Amino acid sequence: MNAYDEYMKSIVVPMRQELVQNGFNELVTAEQVQQHMSESTGTSLIVINSICGCAAGLARPAVIEAVKEVENKPEHLVTVFAGQDQEATQTMRDFFNEVPPSSPSIAIWKDNELAYFIPREQIEGFEMDQVKDHLVQVLNQLNVQ
């Protein structure tokens, strides 16, 4: 690993920890993604994390607050980090390749299929509470249990 990669990995540690400290399982390898997606049952809330400002100020806080607020919580909270864990991110995106790659983004995987997707375009430029409310509404409509 070169000096730039080392530097970037150190910069993103707090960005990773924000989700991990709030109950998310970070998937950092393609194998971990494959295992989760093939073995998990029920509903997974998947965050495609990123280093950008809309991830820091909108996506991560909105997801954390939505999970606290929603009545029926997803069984699984997972995240991959775009631009950092490239193989893991690509493997995750392959599971819902019908939507263009987008980071940050939020996916809801239910019954072995993509149930809902919130792309960057529905995060960037919105207020954090709008993103949170959108996710809460979707999770409640999907009757996540």
**What residues act catalytically?**
52, 54
Rounded to 5°, angle at Cα 26 from 23 and 31: 140
CA distance 63 to 18: 11
Residue 19 corresponds to which tokens in the numbers above? 């989700």
State both tokens at 98.
């019908």
How many whole angstroms separate alpha carbon 24 and alpha carbon 15?
Answer: 12
Buried/exposed 106-122: b ≥16 CB within 10 Å, e otherwise: bbbbbeeeebbbbbbeb
Can you say whether the dihedral through the CA atoms of 123, 82, 142, 66 is positive or negative? negative
